[in-house]
């Protein structure tokens, strides 16, 4: 059962394959429909090892979308602004380092 005190979502931060920074957006399962719009704003990655590893210990969450900072500066600013918006909506940032790649 979902603990309502848990953050609505998690912004999982890790290295990207090209040595940049990537973000995965995970949402509590009871709130997932409210954040489906992220799929239109970002991209999705099937079987991301970082997401799989994190979800092993957090079954109340589901993966929604991903983004990174490997774009032109104007687009990177929009990613940063999206992250700021999500944090205001009770998302929390977490780093993960030890996923198998």
Confidence at residue 78, expressed as pLDDT on a 0 to 100 scale: 96
Split into its structural domains, the chain has a count of: 1
pTM comes to 0.89
Confidence at residue 3, expressed as pLDDT on a 0 to 100 scale: 57
Q: Is residue 34 part of a domain?
A: yes
Domain that holds residue 76: 9-95
Q: Is residue 91 part of a domain?
A: yes
Average pLDDT estimate for 70-89: 95
Q: Is residue 43 part of a domain?
A: yes
| Closest among 91, 100, 89 to 23, alpha carbons compared | 91
Cβ atoms 54, 12 nearer than 8 A: yes
Q: Is residue 13 part of a domain?
A: yes
Q: Is residue 2 part of a domain?
A: no
Q: Is residue 68 part of a domain?
A: yes
Whole-angstrom Cα distance, residue 86 to residue 59? 21
Whole-angstrom Cα distance, residue 22 to residue 32? 21
Query: How confident is the model over 2-59, as pLDDT tens digits?
Result: 555 689 999 999 988 777 899 999 999 999 999 999 999 899 998 889 999 999 999 9
Confidence at residue 100, expressed as pLDDT on a 0 to 100 scale: 60
Cβ atoms 11, 92 nearer than 8 A: yes
Q: Is residue 1 part of a domain?
A: no
């Amino acid at each position: 059962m979902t603990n309502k005190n848990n953050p609505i979502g998690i912004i999982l931060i890790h290295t990207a394959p090209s040595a940049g920074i990537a973000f995965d957006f995970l949402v509590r399962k009871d709130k997932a429909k409210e954040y489906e719009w992220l799929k239109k704003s970002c991209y999705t990655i099937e079987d991301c090892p970082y997401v799989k590893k994190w979800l092993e210990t957090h079954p109340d969450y589901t993966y929604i979308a991903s983004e990174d900072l490997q774009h032109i500066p104007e687009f990177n600013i929009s990613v940063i602004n999206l992250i700021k918006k999500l944090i205001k909506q009770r998302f929390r940032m977490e780093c993960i380092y030890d996923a198998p790649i």
